Amino acid sequence: MIKTALITAAGRGLRLDRPGTPKSLVDVDGQPILFRLIRQLKSAGVENIVVVSGFESEKIEQKLFRHPHISKGVQVVENSQWSAGLASSVAAAEESILNFNEMDPFLLVMGDHVFDDELIVEAVSSKLEVGDGALFVTKNIEAIYDYESAVKVCHDKGVITKLGRGIDCANGVDMGVFILKPSIFKLLPVKENGKDALEWSEALQNIIESSNLLAVETSAVFDDIDTPSALVHCEMRLRKIRREAVVNRPVYPSNSESFTTFDYIIDTPVKTDIVVGRGFVKDPSKLQIIRDQSASSPIFVFTDETVAEIYGYDFRKKLVEFGYDVNLIVLPVGEESKSLTNYAYLVERVLRKGVDEQSVFISLGGGVVCNVCGFVASSIYRGLNLVHLPTTLMAQSDAAVSHKQGINGYQGKNLVGSYYSPQMVAIDVETLNTLPLRLVADGMAEVIKHAVGQDESYVDMLLSHNGDLRDLDFIEAAIRRNVQLKCELVLNDPKEHKDAMILQYGHTVGHPVEHLTGYSYYHGESVAVGMSVAARISHLMGGCSADLIELQDEINDKFKLPSRIPAYIKPDSILETMKYNKKFLSGGTRMALLQGVGKLWSVNGDYAIPVADKVLLEAVEASMEK
C-alpha cells in the first residue's frame, strides 16, 4: 500500500466560482477540491501528504491549517516558480518526498481533478512492479466531458507509447493519477536558464523514452475541473450520485415475462388562442370569449376588489344582457388570495352555486386572479373551460400567457398548482390605462426577462425607448413580442426543463425576496432583483462577463425596477427559502443562468445549473442595499 502522496495545487487555472479563488479551493460537492482529495487519500490509507502550492499559496495554507483534522499529516511546499508549469511543481516536492522514503513509490494526483472514491482506493492499493511509473488511464471515453481538451494516451500491452491532446492513436485518457518512484525526479532537469522546468508533457515523454511508463486501465470516472462548464458538469454528476445513494435499491430486472406492460397515452397538443387587441373588456361584443357550447352553462368571472369597480361589474352586466348565467366572484387584492385556505373556500363556493362540464371560468384581473381562477378551473371536475382576460402588464406579459396555474403554500410562492391550458387568453391593452404606474413598471420585469434571456434586438428596442411607460403603442409592441417568444419556448418544452428554463430566470431568488418582504415588493420587482443576482452568480461562476451585470442593472433602472435586496432581509433567510423552489433538489440549488444576452447556460443538455451555497451567499451579499 502506498503511504505517501503528492498533490499539485499550484496553478491558477480559470476563475471558476469566485474571483481570486485558487483553483484547488474551488468548491465541488460542498467542499474545496483540495479538501475532498485529502480526505479521500487519508481514508484510503495514505499517511503523508505533500501539497505543492503556488498561486495564492498563503491563502491555501491558511485555509488548510484552519482545519486541523484535514491538515494533520499534510505538508505544504510553496513553489515560487509555479507559473513555469506542472513539472516545476513536481520537482519542487523532491526534498519532501525523499524525506519520507527514498525508495518506495508515491502517488501523484492532480489537485484540480475530482476523483471517485473507488479510483483513489485502487491507486493507493496498487504496486509498481517494473518501470519508474504508472499512469491511470480511463477506457470510459464516453464519460469524458471535454474529450477534445483531454490528454489522450496510446498504450500497447500495458505500456504507454505516446500521450498528448492532439494524438490520433488514443485508446485511453490520462486521469491525472500516477504511481511514481522517487527516481522520477532525475527526469525533471531544469532548463539552461536555471528557472524554467520542463513542461509536464516533456517530462512524461522523457519517462516514456528512458523507462517504462505503465498504463493502469480502469473504467472509473473523473473530472478535470478546468473550465466553468466542467465545474458545473462535475457538480451535476456528484449531486446525482449523492441523490441515488440515499436508498439501497435492489437491482431490478430489465424485463420479466411475468409482467405485461401497456402504453397508456393521453397527452395531445392543446391549442390556446392568444388574442392581443383593444377595447373588448369594456365592450365584450367585440370578441367572442365564451364558446357556443357553453352558452347555457354557469359562467364564473373571477376578479379582485379593485378591478371589479373599474371593469368587473360592468363586464358581468353586459354578459348577462347577452343571456349568460354569470356569477361574479370578487377576491381580496393581493397574494393573500392565493392561499390554500382561500382556494378551498372558492372551490366549495363554486360547487354550491352549481357547475357543469361546459362551464367557463374567466379571470379578469392581474396575475393573482389568473393564478387562482386557473387553479380552481383546473381542479373542479378535473378541469373545466378557462379563459384569461389579464388587466395588468405582469399578467399580459407572463402570468396569463401560460398553462401554469397555481397558488401559494405556507413555505413560499406557487408551491401548489397544475399544468392546465386555457381555451383563450385575450389581452386588452387598453386596460393598462387604469393601471398604477408602479404596476406598469412591475410588469416590465417579465418583458425584460424575455428580452435579456432570448433576444438581443428586443433588449435594444427596450433601451432605445425614451417615451412614457404608458405609451400603449410601445407596450403593445412589447406584449406581442413577449407572447411570440413565449409561444416559441413552450411549443417544444412545456415543462420548462430545457430552453424554456429561461422562464425561471430571476425567479429562484426573486420568489424568496417577494416572500420575505411580506409581498411589499411586487412579483416583477422581486424578479428584477432576482435577475441581477442571477447575473452576479453567473459571473462568479465564470459563465458570463461583468457586462451582463451592468446591462441587467441598467435596464432595471431604466424601467424603475430595483436591483438590490432590501437591507432588512438576512442573506441566510434567502438561502433557506430557496429550498422550497421547485428547481431545488436534495443536492442543492439549481438555477437558470445566462452566459450573455440570449444565451441560456446549459451543460450536457441540462439547463438547471447547480450553484454552491457559498457562491449564492456571495452574490446575495453583493446585491444587498447599502
The residue whose grid cell reads 445549473 is 609
483 has a pLDDT exceeding 70 = yes
Q: What is the pLDDT of residues 509-549, one digit of tens each?
A: 999 999 899 989 999 999 999 999 999 999 999 899 999 99
Q: What is the pLDDT of residues 292-323, one digit of tens each?
A: 999 999 999 999 999 999 999 999 999 999 99
Rg over alpha carbons for the chain, rounded to the nearest Å, is: 30
d(CA 176, CA 138): 10
Amino acid identity for residue 451 in this structure: A
Q: What is the pLDDT of residues 129-156, one digit of tens each?
A: 777 789 999 988 888 888 888 888 899 8
- When the pLDDT of each residue in the chain is averaged and rounded to a whole number, the result is 89
Q: Which residue has the higher pLDDT, 22 or 330?
A: 330
Domain boundaries, the chain: 4-134+175-213, 272-430, 436-626
Q: What is the pLDDT of residues 368-414, one digit of tens each?
A: 999 999 999 999 999 999 999 999 999 999 889 988 899 988 877 78
d(CA 543, CA 239): 20
Closest to 354 (Cα-Cα) out of 389, 322, 327: 327
pLDDT confidence bin for 18, thresholds 50/70/90: low
47 has a pLDDT exceeding 50 = yes
Q: What is the pLDDT of residues 193-217, one digit of tens each?
A: 444 555 677 777 777 877 778 999 9
67 has a pLDDT exceeding 70 = yes
pLDDT of residue 195: 47
Regarding pTM above 0.85, the answer is: no
Residues 381, 361: contact at Cβ < 8 Å? no
Closest to 29 (Cα-Cα) out of 208, 214, 209, 245: 245
pLDDT of residue 605: 86
Backbone angles phi, psi at 231, to 5 degrees: -65, -45
pLDDT of residue 583: 57
pLDDT of residue 84: 80
Ranges 104-118, 225-239, 427-441, 476-490: which has the least confidence: 225-239
User: Residue 262 pairs with which residues in a beta bridge?
Assistant: none
Percent of the chain with pLDDT strictly greater than 70: 95
Domain 272-430, what architecture? 3-Layer(aba) Sandwich (3.40)
pLDDT of residue 587: 61
Closest to 238 (Cα-Cα) out of 145, 309, 311, 161: 145
d(CA 259, CA 273): 43
Q: Does the fold of domain 436-626 match that of domain 4-134+175-213?
A: no
pLDDT of residue 198: 57
Cell of 494: 412545456
Amino acid identity for residue 433 in this structure: N
Domain 4-134+175-213, what architecture? Alpha-Beta Complex (3.90)
15 has a pLDDT exceeding 70 = no
Residue 262, classed as helix, strand or coil, is: coil
Cell of 377: 378551473
Cell of 310: 373599474
d(CA 162, CA 172): 11
Q: What is the pLDDT of residues 171-193, one digit of tens each?
A: 889 999 999 999 888 877 554 44
Q: What is the pLDDT of residues 607-619, one digit of tens each?
A: 999 998 889 999 9
Cell of 487: 409561444
Residue 513: CA count within 13 A, CB half-sphere: 29
Residues 213, 159: contact at Cβ < 8 Å? yes
Alpha carbon distances (Å) from 179 to 109, 134, 164, 204, 238: 9, 5, 19, 13, 25
pLDDT of residue 315: 97
Kindly state the greatest CA–CA separation across the chain: 100
Residues 29, 235: contact at Cβ < 8 Å? yes
Residue 538: CA count within 13 A, CB half-sphere: 31
Per-residue pLDDT, averaged over 491-514, amounts to 89
CATH topology of domain 436-626: Dehydroquinate synthase-like, alpha domain (1.20.1090)
Listing DSSP states for 581-626 in one string gives STT-BTTB-EE--EEETTEE--BTTB-SEE--HHHHHHHHHHTB--
pLDDT confidence bin for 19, thresholds 50/70/90: low
pLDDT confidence bin for 280, thresholds 50/70/90: very high
Residues 407, 375: contact at Cβ < 8 Å? yes
User: Residue 428 pairs with which residues in a beta bridge?
Assistant: 277
Per-residue pLDDT, averaged over 8-17, amounts to 67
